[in-house]
Each structure stands twice: as C-alpha cells, then as structure tokens.
Structure 1
Amino acid sequence: MADVAVLHNTLDFQGGADTVCLAVCDALADDHDVTLFTVSETALEALSDRFDTPLPDVDVRMPTGANRTARALSWLAPWVGPQLAFRSVLLRRFFLPVADEFDLAVSTANEVAVPIPSVQYVHYPQFKIRRAADADAGRLNALWSRVAAPDVSGGTDTATYLANSGWTADVFEAIYGTRPTVLHPPVDPISCDTTWEDRETGIVVVGRIAPDKRLEEAIAIVDGVRDRGHDVHLHIVGSAPRAYRRYADRIAAAAEERPYVHLETDVPRRRVIELLCGYRYGLNVKADEHFGMAVAEYVAAGMVPFAPASGGQREILRGRADRSFDSVPEAIDLVSGAIDRDDRPRLQRDRFATDGFQEAFRQHVR
C-alpha cells in the first residue's frame, strides 16, 4: 500500500476529465491511501451523483479559500480566457510543501512538474502549447509553463505519461519530444431497452454547454437536415458551468426560436441515458476533440454517431468516412443520407469499458 496524491486542477467544468478523475480515484482507493488535491467549488459527491459513478473513498485537500478562488476564476473566465494551466500552477504551489508525504503523484488533468515519481494523464498538453498550432494558449501560458511545466527532456523527469488518444499523444510528442502511452478514457456500454424502431428519428448532442463545442453549428446542421425534408429535432443536454454562462444564454435563445430544438442543462445522469437510449443519432461538432467522450457514449448507447474528421474522435469512429465531416454542409449530407438509408449502428459498444481502463491504470501505478 502506498500514499498516493491525485492532482486534479478543478472539478468545476464537469466534463470528461472529471470522469477520468473519479475512475482513477476509485481504481486506486482499494489498494492505496489516496488524497485528492484540487481547487474547486464543485464537491466530489456532486460529480458522483451527476455521472452516476461510485464515490471513491479518498481524502480531499484544498487550499484555504479554494472555493472562493474557484468561483472567482469561473466568473472571470469569459474575460480572461484559458485558465486550466493557471489553476494547475495554483494547485502545484499548494502540493509542493507536502509532496514528501507521498510515494507517488497521479495527475488526472494533464502534465505538471512534481518532485516525486508520477503517473500523468494528458487530455491535452496545458503547457508550452504555443508550439501547437491549433491550441488557444492564452497570453500568459509561457509564464505558467516556466513555472510548472515538466522538464521531460532534462533527464531528471520520472513521470509516466498517458494520453487519452493517439492524436493527443502526437501533440504531446511534438511539444515535449516523448510519446505517451495511449489509454482511452472509460466509457461503459449503456443498457438500452428501446429497440431501433422505437427510437426517435432525432439527434442528441451531449456535453458541456461551452463555446468550443460549437453548438450553433449543431443547430445549423439540424436546420439543414430539416430543409432536406426530414422531420428531425435536436436535443442538447449537458452541464452549464458558471464559466460559460453567457454562451449558455446564447444557445438557449437560439433554441427558443426553434420548436424543434430543446436544451436541458445540469440534468441527472438518468435523464442523459434516457435521451441517449431514446434517439437514433448522436452528433459532436467540436473540431480537434482531444478524445470525444460524448461520441464514445453515442456508440456505447447503440446510436449512429457523427463527428468532425479531426482529433481523437476519429479513433472512436474507426476512421469511417460516412460518419465524419469537415463542414456543416458535409454533415448535413451525411446525416440526411443515414436517415434515407436507415443506417444502423455497427461500432463495438464496450470498447472503452471502465474495468479495462482501471486495470491498465493500476498497472501503470504499480
């Protein structure tokens, strides 16, 4: 048994990274004493309820005033831009004085310099990302990188790096010169009693209500499919973190203008599953998605998924050209064609099961 520190910069965005954090804490808690370090206003219990996952038996440590700090950062997000790297700098500063209490550090929110051996799960590199042409680094990323980026090429780094997709591993290697091992995030198959014939001929978009998800394009795609004569409707469902409140208001206004577009925010997990099992088609519109938890959930629920032909989501779709697109008009063509042909789901539903993810992670920790 070891003393393990899990570092997770924030639980407030309530997305795929947070499900990984929960799964990792749960995987390690039986064999080790686990302490979660974070700077969040969202409680671990709230995430466990939202995602309907086990509440891991871990201690939680946060800096004094962490709740107020996290709330302030969320309020400032529309004006200050990317802040995950800064949150990691804050968390690292809190962790360093007590690092020698632990045998191992585990980062579930990207790479960070720590003075003890570590296993680090990278959703997308957060430091030195001026070297990645597609990244929105923020004005101060170079400063945060000097403070907290690991020295991967210096010969003293003892970290094991994991990446959520081969695409993310490529980006990390381009920045740091070393390639992480790919370990896809956990997405369990979803048990659905509804037959294909009884599912609605409609489209679901699952995920954070945030600008990078390009939900206006999802609405435009449904507009276009309807113009082709298909009586489909769109259901957008996901968390609406404080940081994205203005964007959520904009999407709500667009939905109000269309009787066939519905928006639900911050709903229980059972409602998300009800929608995934009740509809035929799942849509993601974010280009260069680092992995694509929503796309994996569409597959896990027996839906026909569509996503941009970029990023890690291509790995979920097995490179199928009839499920991936480069533009809104192309997406309209693909969805309309699938409806015309009555395409059925063909992808493996249990490919990313939690048991496999957790055992692989435990092995890296060992």
Structure 2
Amino acid sequence: MVLLSLVAPAAFIAAVVLIFGLVYALWILGTLGCAAVLLAFVARLWLRCTLPSRKQGFVAFFHPFADSGGGGERVLWCAVKALQDAYPSLQILIYCRAGLTPRALCLRASSAFFLDVQDRFQVVPLMHCDLISPKRYPRWTMLQQALGSVQLAYDALALAVPEVVIDTSGWAFMYPLFRLAGVRVASYTHYPTISTDMLQRVTSRQATFNNNSKIAADPIKSLAKVVYYFIFAAAYGAVGGWANVVMVNSSWTRQHISQLWWTLKKPSLVYPPCNVSHLAALPLDRKLKSLFLVSVAQFRPEKDHEKQLHAFSLARERAHADTQRTPSLSSEAVLAARLKLVGSCRNGEDEQRVANLKKTTSELGLDAHVDFCVNAPFSEVQQLLGGAVGGLHTMVDEHFGISIVEYMAAGVIPIAHNSGGPMMDIVVKDSSGMVGYLCENKEEYADAITQVLSMDQEKRMSIAAAARRRALHFTDKGFQEAFLECLEAGVLPSNLHR
C-alpha cells in the first residue's frame, strides 16, 4: 500500500509534466508557424510590389549554363522541344547566362545532342551566374551556392515573371521565392544537393572527394560538419517541398528525394532522354581489328578515372603472370588491348586532373596502352563506341548514367559501379539476359575487364544485343511523353490545348 501511495503521485506528476510539456511545445510551434505565415505574407506583398507583372501563358526554364554539353543540358533541350512540339503557340523563356542567343543555343543543341529545337523562345540573360559557381566559395560551398541561387532567381524574376518555371538544374532553394512571386514550380532533379549517403559518409568520417581527409581525420571538425550537413539537409527538404511538381531521373534519386523533401506525393520517375537512335544503328558484328575499352565521362573527381587505370593495370598484371605460366588467347587479348579515356575538360582544374592521370598512367607503365581523347567531338566519340568491346564507368552513386546507356545502345558491354542508377535502373538483368557487369573495387573491375576482352565473339554479341534492347527503354520519346504528362497534371495552364 505504501508503495502504491508513492507510485500514484509520481505517475500523476509525470502525466501533468508531460501534458504541460506538450502544450508548451505546441505553443512554441504555433508561434513559429504564425511568424512564418506572417513573414511569407509580407514577402509575397513585397515581391508583388517590386517585380514586374506576371506574363500569363509564359513558361520559363531555369538553367543558367544552358550552353553546356552535359546530360542535364540534353534534358533541358528535349524538354523545350517537347513543349514546342505539343504546344506550338506556347511562349517559352530560358533563364541562362548573359551573352547567349536563341539561335546560338539551338545550334549548340543540334551539334551536341542532334536535337532539332526551334529558336522561337526568348532568352532572359542572367548577369551573375558566378553566384552559383563552386569555385567562388572555398568554404561553406553548398550553403553559399544555395544563397547565390536565391539571388540569381530574384535577378531572373526582376526581368520576367512567368506563369510557370521549370527548374532543370537542381537549385531547390529558390523554389519558395518563385512560389511567393505567384509562379508555379516544376522541378526535374538529376542529383540531390545533399543525400543521405553524404550524411552517412560524413558521420562515419569517411574521406571522399567531397569530404576532405583532414576534416575526416579530425573528430571536432567532423562533428561540426555533421551538424552543418544535417541542418542543411533539413533546410533542403523544406524548400524542396515548395515545388508543385517533382520529377527525378532515376530510382536512386527518387529514393533520396523522397527521404529528404517535405512532400506528400512520391516524386515522378522520368528517365532522362538518351541518344540511343544514332548509336543503336551501329553494327553489333563489328570488325575487331584493334581490341579496346572506352571510358566516356567528364574529367571530374567523382568519376574516379584513377580506379579505371589501376583496374586496367591489374588485369594486365594478371594476364602477364598467366602468360608466364601457360600462354593463352585470353591473356594475349588482355595484353593487346588498349584503354581510351574520352571526356571533356570544363576548366583548368579538369586539365590539371588530366595531367595527373597521365602521370599515373606513366607510373603504372601504361603509356603504350592508354589513350586520352580530351574534348573529342561527338562524331569521334560515336566512332570509338562503334569499335569498343567494353565501357568503363567507376563513379560511386551515379544518379543515372547516360554514358552507360550510350555504351549499351552502341553494343558496348558496360562495366559499371554497383550503386546508384546503374545498379537500380540500367545494368539490370531481365528477360533479355545479362546486359553487363557491376563492380565495386579494382579487383572486381579487373575480373570484368578480363572477361569482356577475352570472351568469344558469339557470347559478346549475345550480351551486346541484350544490352541494346535494355538501352531502348531510355528514349527521347519516352522522356517527352512522361515529362509532358507530369506538367499537364500539375503546373501547365488549363487553357492550353495540344
């Protein structure tokens, strides 16, 4: 009885404390919520007073570097073409860096991507695109780029306020600004600004290209970076929730955006348009006069060309050792093969990266077996894909992997990293059979390289044919249909008719 008399008051006190705690927490949240609503209301009024009037029936694309030649730009121009074909009378704006003209952009889209885009759109010139350049911010890069994107978005709105804006470059922090200005927002995300994988690597103090080894080795600095990343991730999730329509380019990206963005509806999966029609015309039964592998990727740190060189070197070492014991056609094929690194350089840092890769090539004794094809035109890339037997891709957590699809369309057997889009969407075994190899470390890459280089022609053609069939899942037409369906369901004016 004494025990019960002691427990009962304690339980009563705990319940009272819990109730008052919940009430206080709700009061705090309510106060913050009211403050946020008031702030949004004031910001909306201010924007309506300072910005030009909204252009009814205008749709704008936000893509500051629209003249670049990457996969993101191919998405942009396929999206523009989709809207032009479906709605010929639609008024389209392109927010992009100053100095570009519709004619020049259309010529670029034609030469780089074989896309026939009409120049019946207007360019809205952005004068300060350096605000989102990572080179401008040696510290707190993500945060400062995010703030820079908001300023750039305001500059864009000060010139023209459309009815709809389509972001194809991934700057989510500007979405609230567009919405407060009365603009509906559609987002096509290629790669999350911050991902749960990045959070995990920083938390576990794993040194990578985006987590400096000095910070990873210091527990205090690592803790500070963990706090910074988690706060940034929460803010990123909040601003992402302002988009009316959310599209992503792969299952991997959708998984991360679903975890981070504060949205009720699951993001729509819209595979990017890949240039498969021209490449699929290449013959599978090619004359293998010279046996070689290709690697098609920009010379950026995350593409990890170093791993490719070390894996190729390891495959050659194994083949050389086998030849010493028992000569075979398999070992001879590996020793006779070449590796061709094909990619573009964006700036001086990329050029220095190529110089370092050439130094590594020399150190590994591969000078006579590795070729660097820097800034090669598409015609040369297509020719190389028409003769290669295997294609290397070593980026960890690649969001999609357009170059892998291009390998497969051309009949080149892909050897890709076992993560991200390649694992979840592209190099997947279906009814067609095996379409390529997935690897994680240089030993596995060396095994795959050896198998691809030494397999007989019949088996190679069987895998290449299955890979080509798989690549046909990622066409321009498929992208355009899915893209328009998402826009029509969420942001396009209801009075538009095809």
| TM-score using structure 2 length | 0.64
Match of 1:240 in 2: 345
Q: Which amino acid aligns with 2:312?
A: V
- 1:196 pairs, out of 262, 282, 285, with 285
CA contact (8 A) 2:110 2:116 kept: yes
The whole-number CA distance in structure 2 between the counterparts of 1:175 and 1:148 is 7
Q: Which amino acid aligns with 2:447?
A: D
Aligned match of 1:125: 192
Distance (Å, rounded) in 1 between the aligned partners of 2:476 and 2:115:
11
Asked if the contact 2:393/2:415 (under 8 Å) is kept, the reply is: yes
Give 1:341's match in structure 2, choosing from 439, 455, 476: 455
Residue 353 of structure 1 is aligned with which of 472, 475, 478? 475
Shift of 1:143: 8.8
Inter-CA distance 330–129: structure 2 relative to 1 (3 Å threshold): closer
Q: How many residues align?
A: 359
Alignment partners' CA distance in 1, 2:57 and 2:246: 20
The answer to which of 161-170 and 227-236 deviates more is 227-236
Q: Report deviation, 1:322.
A: 6.0
Q: Establish whether residue 92 from structure 1 lines up as the match of residue 153 from structure 2.
A: yes
Please list the CA deviations of residues 35-66 of structure 1 after superposition, one character each: whole Å capped at 9, or x if unmatched. 11124788634454233333442322222354
Which structure carries more helix by proportion?
2
**Residue 29 to residue 185, structure 1, CA distance change in 2 (3 Å):** same
Q: Equivalent residue for 1:275?
A: 384
User: Larger radius of gyration, structure 1 or 2?
Assistant: 2
Q: What amino acid is aligned across from residue 10 of structure 1 in structure 2?
A: F
**2-side partners of 1:98 and 1:137: how far apart?**
38
Distance 1:254 1:311 in 2: 27
1:1-366 equivalences in 2 (<5 Å): 2-11=57-66, 14-30=69-85, 31=87, 32-39=90-97, 44=105, 45-46=107-108, 48-57=110-119, 58-64=121-127, 66=129, 69=130, 73=133, 76=136, 85=146, 88-98=149-159, 101-110=161-170, 112=172, 113=175, 114-115=178-179, 116-126=183-193, 132-133=199-200, 136=210, 151-152=239-240, 157-178=242-263, 179-189=266-276, 190-199=279-288, 200-227=290-317, 228=319, 229=331, 230=334, 231-242=336-347, 244-255=350-361, 258-314=367-423, 315-318=425-428, 323-342=437-456, 343-344=460-461, 345=464, 346-347=466-467, 348=469, 349-366=471-488
Q: Is the 8 A contact 2:238 2:261 kept in 1?
A: no
Residue 31 of structure 2 corresponds to which residue in structure 1? none
Q: Which runs of 5+ in 1 are unaligned?
A: none
Retained in 1: the 8 A contact 2:293–2:392?
A: yes
Would the alpha carbon gap of residues 296 and 143 (structure 1) be closer, same or farther in structure 2, given more than 3 Å must change? same
Whether the aligned pair in 2 keeps the contact of 1:194 and 1:278 (CA below 8 Å) is no
Q: Which has the higher contact order (CA 8 A, sep 6+)?
A: 1
**Structure 1 pair 130/283, CA: closer, same or farther in 2 (3 Å)?**
closer
Which shows bigger deviation, 283-292 or 35-44? 35-44
User: Residues 158-217 of structure 1, C-alpha deviation per residue, up to 9 Å, x if partnerless?
Assistant: 521111101110011111144311111111321444443414421111121111100111
Range with greater deviation from structure 2 (349-358 or 161-170): 349-358
Contact 1:276 1:298 in 2 (8 A): yes
Distance 2:133 2:344 in 1: 17
Distance 1:321 1:35, change over 3 A: closer
CA–CA distance in structure 2, aligned partners of residues 340 and 265 of structure 1: 28
Q: CA RMSD in A?
A: 3.3
The answer to whether the 8 Å contact 1:15/1:207 transfers is no
- Maintained 8 Å contact 1:119/1:365: yes
